[in-house]
Amino acid sequence: MRKVFIFLGTVAGVGYVPILPGTAGTLAGVIIYLIFSKASKVFPGPFLEPLSYLVMLVAFVGAGVWISGRCNQYLKGNDNSSIVIDEVGGFLITMFALPFSMRFLLLGFILFRTFDIVKPFKIEKLEKLPGGWGIMADDVAAGILANLVLQAARMMLGW
């Protein structure tokens, strides 16, 4: 089971890239989002509908808390940088209830990474939560913040 948790927590090893593993994890989130977007076009259905997407996010974040907590125990660190499942979850939250477009994809990526790195509004305090909660919570908050900025821009600019 150890290898399974490490495989999932590092998102199939993406977290082991030597430079900017968090950005690599976010790019993995972009790929996962694109797969969901493509699937919704090939198989008409609820892949990107807000309620279905929200259910998927809750399940993903819940699993991410468990996986990242276990993975962190195995890798013997405090929020080991190779654990990037949290970046995937944060990016998927960023894209919640937005129409698919390259504009939102690019802005979402930039905003999420910026908020994840800068951690405005004392988001870094969430990292003090125990286990996987602390690993996931700051990225969830960064994703929510990025989503709110994108939703506001969408309304104000008519996108």
The pLDDT-based confidence of 92 (bands split at 50, 70, 90) is very high
> What is the distance between the terminal CA atoms of the chain, rounded to a whole angstrom?
45
Is the separation of the CB atoms in 33 and 99 below 8 Å?
A: no
**pTM for this predicted structure:** 0.93
Is the separation of the CB atoms in 70 and 119 below 8 Å?
A: no
- Category of 7 on φ-ψ map: left (φ > 0), alpha (ψ -120 to 50) or beta: alpha
Residue 119: pLDDT over 90: yes
- Specify the residue for token string 């209830």: 97
Q: How many CA atoms lie within 13 A of 51 on its CB side?
A: 2
Residue 49: pLDDT over 80: no
Quick one: pLDDT at residue 159?
85
What percent of the chain shows pLDDT beyond 70? 94
Segments making up each domain of the chain, as ranges? 2-157
Average pLDDT, the chain: 91
Residue 65: pLDDT over 60: yes
